[in-house]
Structure formats: C-alpha cells, structure tokens
Structure 1
Amino acid sequence: MEILYWAIVIIMFIISFVGLVYPIIPSVVFIVGGFLLYGLFFDFKSFNYLFWIIEGLFVAVLFAADYVANLIGIKKFGGSKAAIWGSTIGLLVGPFVIPIVGILVGPFLGAILAELIVHQKDIKTSIKIGAGSLIGFISGVFAKAIIQLMMIGYFLFTVL
C-alpha cells in the first residue's frame, strides 16, 4: 500500500506542474493536496509549524511570481493596466478557444486587444506590448516551476 500512497502523492505533484501551462488547474492546491494526502496516508508528525510557515511563504511567493512576471513583461514594453487585464483574460480564455497553443496566443492577443481598444495605441506598439506579455508569462512559468520544485524538495527533505 505504501507504493500506492506514494504514487498518489506524486500524481498530485505532477498535476501541479500541468497547471503551469493550463492555469485553470490550480497548481498550489495540488501541491498542498499532496502534502495533506501524505499526512493522511502516513502521518502528520513530520509537518511541524515551521514546515507550514515555510510552505506558506512559498505559496505567497508563487502567487507573487505569477503576477510580478506578467507585470514586468508588460510594463517593460510600455503596456498599461488594461494590457495586464487583457493578458490575464487571454490566459484564462485562450486554452479553451485555441487548444494547446491558446496558452501562448491568449495572453499575447489579450494584451494587444486591450491596448488597441482601451488606449487606441497603434498596432506596432500593441504587438510589442503583447510580446512583453508573452515574455512575462513564460518567465512566470519558469519562476513558478522553480518555486514548486523547491516546495516539493522541502517536503521531501522534511518527510524522508
């Protein structure tokens, strides 16, 4: 049974990484779910207050990394708050409208459309801002992947 329990915990962690490219899947919920399942399957004794505080800080950094990477990418290329909102909406809608590539196309088009509609910027500038959104999204995915690996690594350090 121990192998089955570990397999379930690992599957939860794997699903959390799928959430990096499909933001509709809440990555952090699956990571924390893996921790809780480990506690239910084995024991919670390994999880002291320090564990939960550190993991809580990782969760806060995880959320901040996503927002900050997008913000920096858009602002660096001259985008506005409208572009940030457009990018976020595109990120959520894109994968459903255009499966697979929509995760990249959605934020790009969302930022472009927001700048064109709200601030009536020219197409060249809007495309540049859309590229900034895409760079911010990709940077955020890498940052979140590193943070998630650190969360799982600290978990393994704690329980093994």
Structure 2
Amino acid sequence: MEIIGWSIIVVCFIIGFIGLVYPIIPSVIFILGGFLLYGVFFSFADLPWWFWLIEVLFVILLFGADMMANAFGVKKYGGSKAGIWGSTIGLLVGPFIIPIAGILIGPFLGAIIAELVFARTSLKQAIKTGFGSVIGFLTSIVTKGTVQIVMIVIFVLVV
C-alpha cells in the first residue's frame, strides 16, 4: 500500500509540473493534492501546522503570480486590457487547436487579434503586445516552476 500511496503522490506532482505548460491543468492544486494524499495514505501528524501555513501561502502566491505575469508581459510591451484578455483566451484555447505549439502561438495570436479588433492599435504595436504575452507566459512558467520545486522540497524535508 505504501508503494501505491507514494506512486499516486508522485503522479500528482508530475501533473502539477505538466500544468505549468498546459494552463488548463491547475498545477498548484495537484501539488497541494499530493500533500493531502500523503496525509490520507500515511499521516497528517507528519505535517505540522507551519508546513500547511507555508504551503497555503505559496498557493496564494502562485495564483497571484499566474495572473500578474501575463498582465505584466502584455502591459510592459504597451498592450491594453483587450490584449491581456486575448492572450489569456489564446493561452487556454491554443493548445487544443494547435497541439504543443499552441501553447506559445495561442497567447501570441490572441493578444494580436484582441489588440487589432478591440483596442484598434497598429499591427506593429499588436505584434509587440503578442511578444509581450509570450514573454509573460514564459516568465510565469519559470516562476511557478521554481515555487513548486520549493514547495516539494519543503515537503520532502518535513517528511
């Protein structure tokens, strides 16, 4: 039973990292789920209150970082709120329309289309905003990945 428990926990962690590049998967929820499954399979007593406090703060940080990184990338390159929305929609839809490459093409095209149609910016500015959305997404992946690694390292050290 111990092998099954650890296997499921590790699968949750792996899905959490897959969620970094497939934003439809709530990555941090799977990491947190791995911690909860440890408590169910083994013991919640092994995980002190300060562990849960730190992990919940990281969860809040990750949700905030996810939203802010995309907005920051678009805004830094002169994009509007329409560009942020277009980028977000493209990020969610892109991987389904164009597997693998859609992860980067989706937010790029989404930001460009939204800037051209709703914000009425020039093509040059719209493309600049599209690049900003991709840079924001890539920055988000690195940031969230680092925080998720720290969360798992803390878990391993506590356990």
Q: What band does the TM-score fall into relative to the shorter chain? A: over 0.9
Distance 1:3 1:91 in 2: 36
The residue aligned with 1:49 is 49
Q: Deviations over 1:52-71 (max 9, x none)?
A: 11101000111111112112
Q: Partner of 1:133: helix, strand, or coil?
A: helix
The residue aligned with 1:99 is 99
Distance 1:9 1:121 in 2: 47
The residue aligned with 1:122 is 122
The residue aligned with 1:38 is 38
Q: Which amino acid aligns with 1:95?
A: P
Q: TM-score, normalised by structure 1?
A: 0.96
Distance 1:127 1:17 in 2: 29
Q: How does 1:41-80 map to 2 (within 5 A)?
A: 41-80=41-80
Deviation for aligned residue 1:72 = 1.4
Q: Partner of 2:44: helix, strand, or coil?
A: coil
State the 4+ residue runs in structure 1 displaced beyond 6 angstroms: none
1:84 and 2:52 equivalent? Answer: no
Deviation for aligned residue 1:3 = 2.5
The residue aligned with 2:15 is 15
Q: Partner of 1:61: helix, strand, or coil?
A: helix
Deviation for aligned residue 1:145 = 0.3
Identity in percent = 60
Tell me how many residue pairs correspond in the alignment: 159
Distance 2:51 2:16 in 1: 19
- Structure 1, gaps ≥5 residues long: none
RMSD in angstroms over aligned alpha carbons? Answer: 0.9
Distance 1:119 1:35 in 2: 44
Q: Deviations over 1:75-130 (max 9, x none)?
A: 11100111111100111111111111111111101110111011111111100010
